[in-house]
Amino acid sequence: MKKTQLFAAFCGASLLTMAALGAQAKTLVYCSEGSPEGFNPAFYTAGTTFDATSRQIFNKLVEFERGETKIVPGLAETWDISEDGKVYTFNLRKGVKFHTTKGFTPSRDFNADDVVFSFMRQLDKEHPFHKVSGGTYEYFDGMGMPDLIEKIEKVDDYTVKFVLKKPEAPMLANLAMDFASIFSAEYADKLMAAGTPEVIDQEPVGTGPFQLVAYQKDAVIRYKANPEYWAGKAPIDDLVFAITPDASVRYQKLKAGECHVMPYPNPADLEAMSKDPDVNLMQKEGLNVGYLAYNTMTPPFDKPAVRKALNMAINKQAILDAVFQGAGKVAKNPIPPTIWSYNDAVQDDPYDPVAAKKMLEEAGVKDLTTKVWAMPVQRPYNPNARRMAEIIQADWAKVGVNAEIVSYEWGEYLKRSKEKDRDGAVLLGWTGDNGDPDNFLAVLLGCDAVGGANRSQWCYQPFEDLIQKAKIVADPAERTKLYEQAQVVFKEQAPWATIAHSVVYEPLRKEVVNYKIDPFGGHIFYGVDLK
Amino acid sequence: MITFLLRKLGVLIPTFFGVTLVAFIFIRLLPGDPVLLMAGERGMSEERHTALMKEYGFDRPVWEQYLSYIGDLAQGDLGKSIITKKPVTKEFFTLFPATIELSLCAIIIAVFIGLPAGMIAATRRGSVFDHTVMAGALTGYSMPIFWWGLLLIIFFSGILGWTPVSGRISLLYYFEPVTGFMLIDSLMSGQEGAFSSALSHLILPAIVLGTIPLAVIARQTRSAMLEVLGEDYVRTAKAKGLGPGRVIGLHALRNAMIPVITVIGLQVGVLFAGAILTETIFSWPGIGKWMVDSISRRDYPSVQGGLLLIAAVVMMVNLVVDLLYGLINPQIRHTE
């Protein structure tokens, strides 16, 4: 009897948690996969950090509609784009409150000063906050913002003007990204006066639906709903991130009711999850693509016919079954189907080893020896690169191509795979940043990216002309046409073997309602409720 | 005694500097650099890479970086994490109490079960108990920590629902950490049920982390006891008519403890290594997982500082073990 009582006392905590929290306030527990690197999303590129910061605490001028890639108003209610596509004028929302925290009580509402501060901190190297906390703005720089933005002007308290050096159609989508989160200039001034400017990156103050209450490193992050949120208070009162690095343990916690939502389930657990009466296994196609990039600068891969033949020798369905365990979809285009302008009319190269062998012979390729590069890390677009490389190796052997599998440490892999004289085809992939086709096609296949993110070292003028034109055209219908044509050219030229788009699974407990899977891989809890 | 202590400390200082050098060189020998890893698939231009390497000071010759590191170290500055931008010392000491708490509980479990089990197995050599303890010890020693942890979670938390799955305390309880030791902080918080919640969260990870040391201690105790039990003075004590309790407790155990204490001291290093996996499985916010994350991100200051502080702790524990020898067997003190 004593034993039973002891155990009941010991283990009742988790059940108590849910019951007690349910009775008092609505608390949603999210078993996150890792700790945020910090609390300023402008410094980092990891989704885990964005989940803990920009997606709960901050707002952007424009935002992505929850669960979609469509751009909707955020802190800017409306905006105008000049005829030449170089001037973006944002009309800001009035009556928006910054969080009141232990260290800061705002004396004014959000206004244009906050927008100018948030961007100029990243843009202007002489800005008093530029160097604070290290001052490396990885996404802002990576998206080419310093070369794009000429100036940012406050027109009046509720109007801000962005002047660009050249027209850039994806600009609006860029401004919806996490690095574009808006900070309080008043808070910054106060901290600077107190001689503690770095606190702005540690104790964040935003306008978002949740405000940070406490963070215990590697253990738990606590938020409470912002009662004065401009779009209305969140249906839940408290949000807790219980940091749980192991996927199997996350699932055990979900089953035990110790958390409501968990990310990144083990593929091996998916079947059990789908049968679990307490779990709702949501799924959505991911905004990503996994590919094999040939080095189009080295013979015989400089010939499109050879690349096409090798593509036809790969059994993609076998890869989906063995590597993705069904959690994926065969890719035929370099952009995922969830992105606008996806050209569904494009026909994929059929799996036909006999025809592939014949094509190679016709191209004069005999006894070809090459390399297949296998990534040393796991990614949603490629959960097991080694296994994928082995399948490709076996498939190519059937058409007389002898492939050796090579791999390097991740940093080295990224570095060496960029080299123009690289030997062999590289397995890699991409997860979209802003839902714009330019973010795939120009970043990964544009001429400017050769020797960089363009791992196929492919610079093909007809394709380049199409994507460059699409970058400066403002009309979405015209842009769509241009990108559709670009995908046709891509398929003809075959600089990659497009392998797969992953399917994102999100297990949540049945009592969670109105949760939407974010196409960008984020986890957003505004709008989510508990039954 | 003081000469003995000074001599031991004299050995520790060069060892400490050796560790700084190894830690410094080791992380730089790994391929890849923090800037490259930060950029990921996106990549960055050669110019930006060079600029960032310069900004972090990684473009300087390694010896120059090392000397400036030693200079900072002499002033007690271990640098700032490249990733979180926070002082390494602060990060370490925020997480260290969690690892200490877990390791202490693990070693207590290991000693309190392993020691008597080994002793009884030795006194009942060849019995069913002896075979069971030895078979159990071998199994415990061979068990992969990761698998063992998951197995216990699935059984005790998933199927029986007796223990929480992971973490340090139920999310129901919230208080500012004072000491960083959850058992103490939960008591100090005065919140009803907080202590029992913290204790229940500690059970499974402590068992998992304590399993290998337990197995080693049980085996070591058994073999040390067997050796001592065969000694002439034990036979003499028995012949003099002393009871088994006095023979074992007073004469045999004291002499058998020397190798056992050595092994317990060495287990501190094993515990820190085991903590890496245990902390990951049980979402335990300690230094094990922090070190792994720092290494995988090539966070040079965190890895260097972390290794140094861990090494310092291990060296201190071994110093204490050396001092304990002297307490148990004064002869060692004199002959050293």
pLDDT tens figures, B80-131: 888 888 899 999 999 999 999 999 999 999 999 999 999 899 888 889 999 9
According to DSSP, the residues that pair with A293 across neighbouring strands are A426, A496
- Say which of A13, A256, A428 has its CB closest to residue B197: A13
Q: What's the fold here for domain A288-502?
A: Dipeptide-binding Protein; domain 3 (3.10.105)
Nearest CA in chain A to B46: A452
Asked whether residue A17 carries a pLDDT value surpassing 70, the answer given is: no
Nearest CA in chain B to A415: B36
What would the two tokens of residue B303 be? 């890895």
Give the whole-angstrom CA distance, residue A41 versus residue A57.
10
pLDDT band for position A466 (cuts 50, 70, 90): very high
pLDDT band for position B317 (cuts 50, 70, 90): confident
- Say which of B48, B165, B286 has its CB closest to residue A252: B165
Indicate the domain borders of chain A: 24-36+208-278+510-530, 59-202, 288-502
- Say which of B37, B166, B197 has its CB closest to residue A253: B166
Nearest CA in chain B to A252: B158
Contact flag A37-B39 (C-beta cutoff 8 Å): no
Domain B91-296 indexed as CATH 3.90.1640.30: no
Which of chain A's residues have a Cβ under 8 Å away from the Cβ of B289?
218, 245
Contact flag B170-A14 (C-beta cutoff 8 Å): yes
Contact flag A243-B285 (C-beta cutoff 8 Å): yes
Asked whether residue B48 carries a pLDDT value surpassing 60, the answer given is: yes
pLDDT band for position B140 (cuts 50, 70, 90): confident
Percent of chain A with pLDDT over 90: 75
Which of chain A's residues have a Cβ under 8 Å away from the Cβ of B88?
none
Average pLDDT (A302-312) is 96
Q: Are B321 and B261 in contact (CB under 8 A)?
A: yes
Nearest CA in chain B to A7: B162
Average pLDDT for chain B: 86
Q: Which ranges constitute the DSSP H helices of B30-158? A: 34-39, 46-56, 62-74, 88-123, 128-142, 145-152
Domain A59-202 indexed as CATH 3.90.76.10: yes
ipTM: 0.81
Contact flag A412-B84 (C-beta cutoff 8 Å): no
Percent of chain B with pLDDT over 70: 96
Asked whether residue A380 carries a pLDDT value surpassing 50, the answer given is: yes
First to last CA, chain A: 35
pLDDT tens figures, B203-247: 999 999 999 999 999 999 999 888 888 888 888 888 888 887 788
- State the pLDDT at residue A24: 65
Q: Which of A143-147, A303-307, A420-424 has the lowest mean pLDDT?
A: A143-147
Residue from A3, A6, A11 whose CB has the most chain B CBs within 10 Å, to mutate = A11
Which of chain B's residues have a Cβ under 8 Å away from the Cβ of A237?
none
Q: Which CATH superfamily is A24-36+208-278+510-530 part of?
A: Periplasmic binding protein-like II (3.40.190.10)
Residue matched to tokens 């590069």: A373
Read off φ and ψ for residue B248, nearest 5 degrees. -75, -50
Give the whole-angstrom CA distance, residue B14 versus residue B17.
5
Specify the pairing of strand A238-242 against strand A27-30: parallel
Better-predicted residue by pLDDT, B280 or B52: B280
**CATH 1.10.3720.10, chain B: domain bounds:** 91-296
Average pLDDT (A269-285) is 92
Q: Are A177 and A61 in contact (CB under 8 A)?
A: no
Contact flag A430-B282 (C-beta cutoff 8 Å): no
Residue from B30, B84, B90, B302 whose CB has the most chain A CBs within 10 Å, to mutate = B84
pLDDT tens figures, A510-525: 999 999 999 888 999 9
Average pLDDT for chain A: 91
Average pLDDT (A119-147) is 88
From A183's Cα to the closest Cα of chain B, the distance in A is 19
Contact flag B174-A242 (C-beta cutoff 8 Å): no
Average pLDDT (B4-22) is 83
Better-predicted residue by pLDDT, A386 or B259: A386
Q: Do domains A24-36+208-278+510-530 and A288-502 have the same CATH topology?
A: no
Which of chain B's residues have a Cβ under 8 Å away from the Cβ of A7?
162-163
DSSP A234: -
Asked whether residue A2 carries a pLDDT value surpassing 70, the answer given is: no
From A449's Cα to the closest Cα of chain B, the distance in A is 10
DSSP A19: H
